[in-house]
Amino acid sequence: MDRIQGVKDSRNPVSGQNPRTPESLNPAVMARGLVRTYRRGAEKIQALKGIDLDIKRGEFVGVVGHSGAGKTTFLNLVGLMDRPTAGRLEVLGTDVTRRGVRLDALRRKNIGFVFQEFYLMPTLTATENVLLPTMWGKANGEWRMANGDSRGAGQRAMELLKLVGLGHRLTHKPSELSGGEMQRVAVARALINRPRLLLADEPTGNLDTTTRDGILNLLLALNRDSGLTVMVATHDLSLESRFTRVIRLEDGNVA
Amino acid sequence: MIWFSLAFKNLVRRKTRSILTVAGVAIAIAVLYSLFQFQQGYQSQLKGELGALGAQVMVVPKGCPYEAATIALHGGKWPRYMDEGLLDKVKANPGVLEAAGVIMDAVFAPGNKNVILLGIDEDYMKLRPAWRINGHWFDSDSAVIMGSTAAQDAGVKTGDYWVVPEKNVRLHVVGVLNRTNTQDDGFVFMPRKTLQKMSGLEGKLVLILVKARQVEKTDALVASLKASEVDMNVFPLSELLGTISSLMASTRVFVSAIILIAVILGGVGVLNTVLMAVFERTREIGMMKAMGGSRGDVFKLVWAETILTTVLGGVAGVILALISSRLVEAFIRGMIPYAPKGSLIGFSLPTMAMCVGLSLVLGLVAGFYPAFRAASVKPVEAIKAE
């Protein structure tokens, strides 16, 4: 259905998804017998031993467990950064275990990542860091959103930085920002391409308690206000109460 | 372009390393530019100098003909002379249109400046139709005509008196040549007899310049001159040009090999640096991929960085070559027996384009493997790597 000129965009400001489209009826993530095995020298390590679970759209999911439980492996599979050894995985209705699926393009369009270590480019300003994911996949190198949004990407980057509370830090470089501020930039960066799934791997692992709460509140607000599906991996069991749903991983299995 | 601005920022981030890498390429390209331009300049300047002699054939005393050529072109003291009587024999040859006998000497002016003295007569003037004398021809045995640069160096003008250094002979400056842009600008001309007497070389000549009646019959003229007299060395200037040129051409292989090695070394240096940078930035590259960057995107970025490095190096190399041209020229001149006067390493757009083009190719080649390595980084492993 074409949108009518002059009518305000009914899509969500963060995720850009329309809650009434039929695709929103698919679960955000569907895993069946998901196995991931690594080789470390001669040793075979089974990081995930056959996970079955569904994550509905709009959930705010905590993936908790001790280190080595398989949280990061699970997030990497859901985030399309890795392929499972066995089992079936559907992300936002696409079977990503099928051969020939281009993971990078899917990832660019649908998934936002936030890491424990922020991974901001030290040479770029906060705004430029947020814009970075918009330059991939273009032949001529320009800031343009993966979903083909015609609005200026720069404008959106600034709006997102304001949204995460960094409207006064647009031109600062990472070295001039605090840990909490850097993580906020990383969150804004994860949102620039209007993802439908936001994944955060230990996003508060490097932050003090106050800053940690600030980031969690931000993620919660994004989930609550825009229906964005958010998955947070953490080993901090005290955070469990913040999530709408908790998936507990133990030794590669859902506990 | 954002790609290049991002690549540039990455270079600036590792300032010292980038500067050193760019410098490596710059030096290689500077060597390339200098040697290439030197070869080109050498050829054209040599042609110009030989043309300025206004003759097709040179007759010199027995001895090394290249030494003789150097003396003929640049002037100087040469302890070999021939008898003035040979001049008449040469003039008598029916193939000769003009023949000018020249005697030369060199003295040191205060400040250790070499002053080249040429003893000539009207015959020499006939070989120099382009001469414009500010003043007039010799009117006495103590008259002197100066080349424009020589007059400037001596600080004299037409009408002044000039004392020949070392000889302490006072001469009357009857004329100063307008600038000819040839070796003549640096010479001091006086009647042949005057110089012969002053230098104790009465009845001697250093060189006879011969203009053929028919240029296309120069070879026959040379043959007949050679046959007529055994005490002199006769050779056509075209042959001299050919011999010196082929001498230079044989060095070209050697020079090209040096350039090739310099450029390859520069390329290996760039490859090594970029590869190290890729290894160091494994996690950052992993992050780019996690943010949706494809293999091609990462490849392009690393490639752009390498190309930027080498092209910057290429441009810097050309600038370096132009700045250091005098120094390099002086160095090369010291290494080879004969080099024309004048600036040999000059501004040349085609050579510049070639140098920058080569540095671009260098970047394309040297950057390929590091870019491939970067593109192959798996995001998961990269982000795990400590």
| Between B211 and A15, the higher pLDDT residue | B211
Token reading at B220:
């026959």
Structure tokens at A41: 């020298």
| CB contact at 8 A, B194 and B142 | yes
Q: How far apart are CA B310 and CA A246, in angstroms?
A: 53
What residues form DSSP beta bridges with B60? B233
Mean pLDDT of B2-10: 78
Give the closest of A119, A137, A142 to B287, CB-based: A119
Listed residue (B50, B339, B75) closest to B206, CA to CA? B75
CA A104 from chain center: how many Å? Answer: 14
CB A231 within 8 A of CB A75: yes
What's residue B338's pLDDT? 66
Which residues, 6+ apart, have CB-to-CB distance to B112 below 8 Å? none
**Does B341 contact chain A (CB < 8 Å)?**
no
Beta carbons of B291 and A132 less than 8 Å apart? yes
Average confidence (pLDDT) over B331-358: 79
Note the pLDDT tens digit of each residue in B287-301. Answer: 888 887 888 888 988
**Radius of gyration of chain B from its Cα atoms, rounded to whole angstroms:** 30
Give me the sheet containing A60-64, strands edge to edge. A111-115, A197-201, A229-234, A60-64, A245-250, A253-254
Helices (H), B281-347: 282-290, 295-323, 325-335
ipTM of this complex:
0.77
Out of B2, B297, B380, closest to residue A137 by CB: B297
Q: Rounded to an integer, what distance in angstroms lies between the CA atom of residue B210 and that of residue B58? A: 6
Q: Which two tokens stand for residue B166?
A: 């070392």
Q: Find out whether B270 and B234 touch, Cβ atoms under 8 Å.
A: no
**Is A141 an 8 Å CB contact of chain B?**
yes
Question: What share of chain B in percent tops pLDDT 90?
Answer: 26
| Residue pair A142/A165 in contact by the 8 Å Cβ criterion | no
Query: Which pTM does this prediction carry?
Result: 0.69
- Whole-number pLDDT of residue A14: 60
Verify whether the Cβ–Cβ distance B13 to A123 is below 8 Å: yes
Rounded (to 5) percent helix, strand, coil in chain A: 30, 25, 45
Which residue in B1, B290, B297 is closest to A81 by CB distance?
B290
SS3 A77: helix
Instruction: Identify the band that residue A137 occupies on the pLDDT scale cut at 50, 70 and 90.
Output: low
Q: Does B288 contact A at CB distance below 8 Å?
A: yes
Is-contact B282 B290, C-beta < 8 A? no
Single out the residue of A165, A149, A140, A180 nearest to residue A222, CA to CA. A165
Q: Which residues pair with A245 in a beta bridge?
A: A61
Has residue B176 got a pLDDT over 90? yes
| Residue A38 predicted with pLDDT over 90 | no
Assigned token pair, B168: 């302490």
∠ at Cα B133 (B132, B134), nearest 5°? Answer: 115
Q: What percent of chain B has pLDDT over 70?
A: 95
Q: Given this model, what pLDDT does residue A142 score?
A: 52
Contact state of B291 with A115 under an 8 Å Cβ cutoff = no
Out of B1, B13, B383, the one facing A115 most closely (by C-beta) is B383
> What's the whole-number mean pLDDT along residues B180-197?
88
Amino acid, res. A133: P
- Does the pLDDT of residue A2 top 70, yes or no? no
Q: How many Cα atoms are found within 13 Å in the side-chain-facing hemisphere of A61?
A: 27
Which of these, A86, A120, A87, A96, lies nearest to A28 by C-alpha position?
Answer: A96
C-alpha dist (Å) from residue A44 to A247, B256, B338: 25, 56, 74
Nearest chain B residue (CA) to A142:
B2
pLDDT digits (tens, 9 = 90+) for B306-319: 999 999 999 999 99
Closest by CA position to B125, among listed B108, B100, B106 = B100
Short-list B76, B379, B62, B46, CA closest to B242: B46
The confidence band for B341, taking pLDDT boundaries of 50, 70 and 90, is low
CA quadruple A132, A136, A140, A142: dihedral positive or negative? negative
Contacts B12 to A, Cβ<8 Å: 123
Do the Cβ atoms of A109 and A193 come closer than 8 Å? yes
What is the model's pLDDT at position A15? 53
Residue B50 in this model has a pLDDT that exceeds 80: no
Please give the Cα distance from B117 to B134 (Å, whole number): 19
| CB-CB under 8 Å, A81 with B289 | yes
